[in-house]
Structure 1
Amino acid sequence: MTEVKIENADREAGKEFMPKFDSNGLLTAVVTNAETNTVLMVAMMDQLAIARTRETGIAHFHSRSRGRLWMKGETSGNTLTVKRILVDCDQDALILECEPAGPTCHTGASDCFYRELVDEGLKPKSD
C-alpha cells in the first residue's frame, strides 16, 4: 500500500513522465488548436503513439476501430503538428496543443465538435 502512495506522489509531483494507462494500455488525449485553444478532437494514445508523436512532432494515436497505430492525416494529409504536450496531475490524460494542416474531423469540419445537444437532438453549434 505504501508503494502506491509513493508512486502517486511521484506521478503527481515528480518530474518524471510516467503515463498511467488504463487496463487496455490507453490514455485520453485532447487535441486543441495551439493558436485558438479550440478543442479539435479527442482520441486515445498508447505507449507507441506517444513515442511516435514525440519522435516526429506529428500527432499519432491508437485507433481502436483500426486496432493499430494511426497518424492523424495519414490518408487526408490533414496532419496535426504538435507544439506542446500538457500532462494532467495523475498522468492519465494529455492535451496536445497542435497546428492543424486542414480540417481535423474526418467529416471535413474544422473540428470534431461541430454539433451541440439541444433538447433531445443535435444541431450545428452556435458560436
Structure 2
Amino acid sequence: MRLSIAAVDGDGDGAAELRELCAWLRTDEDGPDEVRLTTRSGGAAGEMGPVEVIDLVLTHAVAFANLAVVYAGWWRSRAPRRPGAGFTFTRDSDGLTVTVSGEDGSEEAVRRLLAVLAEPQQPPAGPPEVE
C-alpha cells in the first residue's frame, strides 16, 4: 500500500521537518522498505505550487505498526524543539487521511494513526448504478 506524508506547517519549518522525518525513516531498520522524498504540484488544502511529500510503500500489516512506532521515536528524538510542524498521512489508494499535530507524538496520537491507517480500504467511487 502506498502512503504519502505531507507537512502541515505549524510554528516550525514544515519542509525541514519533513526532510528530517524522511531521513529518519530511511535509516531506521524497522522503517518502510521504500521511502522517497518527492515534489508534487499543488499541495494539501489551500497550498499553491509544488510541495514536498514523503512517498512510501507498506508491504504488510506489521508495516503499519512499524511506521507508527518509527514516527513516535522520531518525534521523541526532537524533544527540546517541540512543537513544530504536524504531518498529514494519506493513503493513496482511497485518499483516507489522518493529521497528527506537531505537538502530539504521544501514545494516543500513535494509536489514532494506527486506527485510521488500519481501516479497510474503500473501493473507488464508480459511476452510479442504473436500474
Higher relative contact order (CA 8 A, sep 6+): 2
Higher strand share: 1
TM-score (norm 1): 0.29
CA radius of gyration, larger in: 1
TM-score (norm 2): 0.29
Higher helix share: 2
